[in-house]
Amino acid sequence: MSIKKGRFYLTFKSSLIAFFLIKFFVNYSQPFCNLTATLQLAKQKNYQMHSEKKEDVFVVNLTKEEEQSENIIEEPVVCQKDTLSKKIVVISSEVMGQGDDVLGNVLMKGFIYALTQMDVLPSCVIFYNGGLKLACKGSAVLEDLKTLESLGVEILSCGTCLSHYGLVDEVAIGQVTNMYEIVERQMLASGVIRP
């Protein structure tokens, strides 16, 4: 299998000796890769990890001995990382558009759901000002945000805004960030989408 810059692959192997091998090829220049959560899950499931760097790519092998199997399966699967773009979504309000807030709530819920259905996803969604309430407990869009996060999209909320609204302990998804990172992400993005 060839290693392609900017991608990582997930390969499942099962043989008669019953070892599963998962390989991640991660482009070294992609610092925002959400591999940590995957490795934590692998550790919880008792996988053994070995990693090495090949050129500008890290190779992480996870192995686990399983029960004997007569089936031999070898399926390369391109991971969700391939579907991430360098575009980001920035949400500054609980509503989409101006005029009617009830309609704006419906539109924002529809927008975030529609993101989960896209073939190409943003690399991250940043919430600030009133928009960060969407990433807090009780939000109507939490399940869709969890779906995005499971697909590798980073969810970031402004810490200053959380403090201002008294919601520091209410964040239900993603990570708290600062203005420096919010500005940097927008500057480095190939496009910024503001619903």
Which domains are seen in the chain, by residue range? 9-82 (no CATH), 87-193 (3.40.1260.10)
Q: Give the pairing type, strands 9-14 and 73-78.
A: antiparallel
**pTM of the predicted model as reported, rounded to 2 decimal places:** 0.59
Q: How far apart, in whole angstroms, are the C-alpha atoms of residue 104 and residue 174?
A: 23
Dihedral sign for Cα atoms in the order 164, 168, 170, 173: positive
CA distances from 74 to 13, 20, 23, 71, 89 (A): 5, 10, 12, 10, 36
Beta bridge partners of 175: 156
Cα dist. 142→47, 115, 134, 148, 171 in Å?
30, 13, 7, 10, 10
Cα(189)–Cα(86) distance, rounded to whole angstroms?
Answer: 5
Show pLDDT as tens, one digit a residue, over the chain (195 residues). Answer: 333 333 334 333 333 223 334 444 444 434 334 455 556 666 666 777 766 666 656 666 667 665 444 554 444 444 444 567 899 999 999 999 999 999 999 999 999 999 999 989 999 999 999 999 999 999 999 999 999 999 999 999 999 999 999 999 999 999 999 999 999 999 999 999 999
